[in-house]
Amino acid sequence: MAARRDFWQHPTASKRAQYRNAFAPATIRGQYLNGAPAMAVGPDGYTLDIAYTRTAGYAERQLDLIYDYQTNVRLYPRFQEYIRQHQPRLLAVWGKNDASFIYPGALAFRRDAPRAKVVLLDTGHFALESHAGTIAQLIKEYFTGEQ
């Protein structure tokens, strides 16, 4: 995170270029497969994502998003205050093996919303790829009470 913060505070072309490795086919496949159960993720999602990397302007748009993520981080205190004040029903379904958004981030919701339901699934970053049915059922049960 220190390198990302440095990039946000001092956005040079060379620092921006360091994030281009995120668009390599092996990196994209890894985002889908790392941490997921063996044979649980089909190739459709990552193959499509890899194909998108070949479209005009893709890398620049993605690099802009990486740079702009600082806006989310800056707004975290406002999001957290909203949750503390309004106590919305909160369901956080997370891949416990996600290397990008580590599972303590999901558990942290409970600090602001003690009644939040946090479910950690045995998967990685793209939990829907391996657990779509489970996640759909969790949403249905949590927000409608239907089983």
Would you please indicate which residues are annotated as catalytic (active-site) residues?
Answer: 125
| CA nearest neighbour of 22 among 70, 62, 73 | 62
Q: What angle do CA 54, 58, 61 make, to 5 degrees?
A: 175
Q: What angle do CA 112, 116, 117 make, to 5 degrees?
A: 150
Category of 39 on φ-ψ map: left (φ > 0), alpha (ψ -120 to 50) or beta: left
* Beta strands in the chain, from DSSP E residues, in sequence order: 91-95, 117-121
